Amino acid sequence: MKVVLFPNFGKKNALPTALKCCDILKELDIEIYVSEDFRSEFGEKSFVQFGDIREITKICDTIIAIGGDGTILKASVYASENDKPLLGINTGRLGFMASMEIDDLDKLSKLKEQDYTVETRMMIDAELVRDDKVISVHTALNDIVIARPYSKIADYEISTDGIVVSSMRSDGVVFATPTGSTAYALSAGGPILEPETECIQLTPICPHSLFSRTMVFTSDRLLEVKHYANDDSIYYSVDGKARCKLSKDDKLVIKKSLKKLKLIDIKGHSFFDAVNNKLMNPIK
């Protein structure tokens, strides 16, 4: 069995956790691969193998992300591209998508035994269309956010099959997957969706209206977004990165992606535990 460790050493306790994972995985006779970028951090572990992250994720059986939700989002790019299951170990503050905490490392033996469940998470694509041509495609596990910098208000129109389904004046728009319903969309007033459902959630950011609310669409909907700002100050971001300009004559098509993420749940019922323990209680 081959495992890729995907750590974020900017997170507290990530390094000692990663090194302890190495020792446990070695005892389980699991081959360990790490990005060449982290050779100095893992140098004392002579049994760890190094390589280009894109290449080692192709040959591995599982990817283990060590950090917070941002680390899992970054690792999900490689996991979804190569159809590999992803396990999250939380060393950050929230770690909502992580199945394990630092004190759960003994449960890594379940990887070898294949004693776990795999949740299939839907992803969404953002296709940038200019002059009737698709010029770029980005894929999100959590959300695609369209907004102006500095929370400046703008007019947005969302349509499907040539029919306008929402027209709003707001600071922006969040298109979220069920996985992303507990991220920015939740803070913007959207509902929590069970992550294994398949749908696209539209939530306005600070709408200038008494009646603008979240809408939920079936996963096969193609949602087209246009804006009516008088300049090119509108941008969209994908999972908090890949910031791209959305010009006045462009349109952004939001749709279900062909890519999916396989997320490992080692302890069972991790989503509901996270809702109860991490969202309903203050973060300390």
Residues 6 or more apart whose CB falls under 8 angstroms from that of 70 comprise 8, 92, 240
Give the residue among 90, 93, 45, 39 at the shortest CA–CA distance from 64: 90
DSSP-derived secondary structure for 183-211: THHHHTTPPP--TTS-EEEEEEES-SSSS
Tokens describing residue 74 = 């970054």
**C-alpha to C-alpha distance for 108 and 164, rounded to whole angstroms:** 49
Question: Strands 133-140 and 117-130, how do they pair?
Answer: antiparallel
- Can you list the positions of beta strands (E) in the chain? 2-7, 31-35, 49-51, 62-67, 85-90, 100-101, 117-130, 133-140, 143-147, 154-160, 163-170, 172-176, 199-205, 215-218, 223-227, 235-238, 241-245, 251-265
C-alpha pair distances (Å), 244 with each of 39, 73, 247, 250, 266: 33, 18, 10, 12, 36
Per the DSSP assignment, residues forming a β-bridge with 178 are: none
The residues annotated with a catalytic role in the active site are: 69
Tokens describing residue 45 = 């572990």
Q: How many CA atoms lie within 13 A of 155 on its CB side?
A: 6
CA 7 from chain center: how many Å? 16
